[in-house]
Amino acid sequence: MPLNLANYQKKAAESVKAFWGNRDASRKKQAEVGKADAGNRGAVTGGRNMDGFVALMIDLIEANDLKDATVIRGGRIPLTLPGYFRPTKMWDMLVLRKNHLVAAIELKSQVGAFGKNFNNRTEEAIGTAQDLWTAFREGSFGDAARPFVGWLMLVEDAPASRRPIRDRSEHFPVRPEFQGASYLERYNVLCKKLVQEQLYTTTAVLASPQTAVKTGKFSDVSDMTSLKAFVTSFAGHIASEAAR
């Protein structure tokens, strides 16, 4: 039976519109009540801006016949999983079935402040995955098959994210793939390596300009880290789980 990708292109465009729209709404709301945060922080403290992508993942689950799954997306049911190096970790979306973990997904974004936040996002992504897989190895999730673990990143498409960056490394040279790479390309390299090192099942990095609040426009950085690759991998995992 072929995979059903649930018309993901259209739904992703709607998710992008919602992302930028939610940011604008959060910023305006906080400004109106006199609690505007510095920089872009006000746009991310007022709500879950990536919820459109959560809805897309739910559509993929339903389209590929995993009818008895429990999808946890926030609200009253905690989004936490046990860790190994720390007690628990909050995820952006969990899929459970018959008391075992089917999928855990992180949905992140980066708007402006690229130099300040790229390393933070990198360290967070690596640490989160290492913690989960060590806990999995030690039996924290019971006797079950490996879950799908995904990491999807939406990055503002702007001159600052596409500009080549020079790094200083006083004692040893920076690896060739990072030399002169823009922040978008660095996220692309990161996503590829996260999969190559088996830290995540699939990763994706999407570029979208702020004007996409009206159009839903986004682009992939590479085929390997494209949204199509991500949703195809996720749908395949869901269909395999449904067939058990």
**Residue 37 pLDDT > 80:** no
Spell out a b/e string for 23-43, using b for 16 or more CB atoms within 10 Å of the CB, else e. Answer: beebbeebeeeeeeeeebebb
In a domain, 3, yes or no: no
Q: Residue 42's domain spans which residues?
A: 8-242
Confidence (pLDDT) at 144: 85
In a domain, 29, yes or no: yes
What mean pLDDT comes out for the span 70-86? 89
Q: Which element (helix H / strand E) includes 232?
A: helix 227-242
In a domain, 137, yes or no: yes
What type of residue sits at position 4? N
Confidence (pLDDT) at 28: 56
How many degrees, rounded to 5, is the angle at CA 178 between CA 132 and CA 121? 35
C-alpha 145, offset from chain centre: 22
Is the separation of the CB atoms in 150 and 201 below 8 Å? yes
In a domain, 1, yes or no: no
pLDDT tens-place string over residues 137-184: 999 999 889 999 999 999 999 999 999 998 888 999 999 999 999 999
Contacts of 89 (CB under 8 A, 6+ apart): 80, 81, 83, 128, 131, 132
Domain count, the chain: 1
Percentage, residues of the chain above pLDDT 90: 79
In a domain, 185, yes or no: yes
Strand 148-156 with 202-208, pairing: parallel
